[in-house]
């Protein structure tokens, strides 16, 4: 067991928090966080928007859970980026899963509107997720 100083008493902690706060307040970060929320809500609601909720109930449940998860992540990035920057990588992963899941879960019972909703919603989620990750990389590069 080490008897080192706990992280709460670390002298650079407040400076690191301020750096992440400044990064999350940039217009790019705010747009990216907003797009994560909006694309997550779109993915969650897409089964009812396009009407595939009766055809593929398993994909409907997947889109609902994945979309709501992305929306909650986007809200947490916007509210407390200094605490959630470590999991920003999950947003692009959810976007990739949204794109792939339409083919994995639906199998052959796939409609064009289903594919378009998942591919477009997933692609926006990937791009917005990468945009959310950018401020964390920028603050690391400037140290």
38 CB-side CA count, 13 A: 11
Give pLDDT, residue 46. 94
The model's pTM: 0.78
pLDDT score of 44 more than 50: yes
Checking if the pLDDT of 140 tops 60, the result is: no
Residue 62: predicted pLDDT: 96
Percentage of the chain with pLDDT > 90? 45
Nearest to 95 by CA among 26, 29, 32: 32
Amino acid 1: pLDDT: 47
63 — pLDDT class (breaks 50, 70, 90): very high
Averaged pLDDT, 40-51: 94
First to last CA, the chain: 30
Query: What is residue 26's three-state secondary structure?
Result: coil
Q: Residue 23: pLDDT above 90?
A: no
Residue 78 predicted with pLDDT over 60: yes
Measured distance CA(143)–CA(123) in Å, rounded: 31
For 120-133, what is each residue's pLDDT tens digit? Answer: 999 999 999 998 88
Q: How far apart are CA 126 and CA 8, in angstroms?
A: 33
74 Cβ partners below 8 Å, 6+ apart?
33, 34, 35, 36, 37, 38, 40, 91, 128, 132
């Amino acid at each position: 067991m080490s008897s080192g100083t706990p992280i709460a008493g670390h002298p650079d902690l407040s400076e690191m928090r301020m750096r992440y706060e400044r990064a999350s307040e940039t217009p790019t970060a705010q747009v990216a966080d907003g797009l994560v929320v909006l694309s997550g809500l779109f993915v969650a609601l897409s089964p009812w928007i396009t009407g595939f909720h009766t055809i593929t109930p398993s994909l409907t449940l997947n889109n609902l859970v994945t979309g709501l998860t992305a929306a909650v992540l986007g809200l947490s990035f916007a509210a407390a980026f200094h605490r959630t920057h470590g999991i920003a990588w999950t947003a692009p992963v959810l976007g990739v899963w949204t794109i792939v899941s339409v083919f994995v879960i639906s199998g052959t019972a796939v409609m064009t509107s289903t594919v378009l909703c998942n591919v477009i919603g997933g692609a926006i989620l990937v791009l917005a997720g990468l945009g959310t990750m950018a401020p964390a990389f920028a603050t690391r590069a400037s140290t």
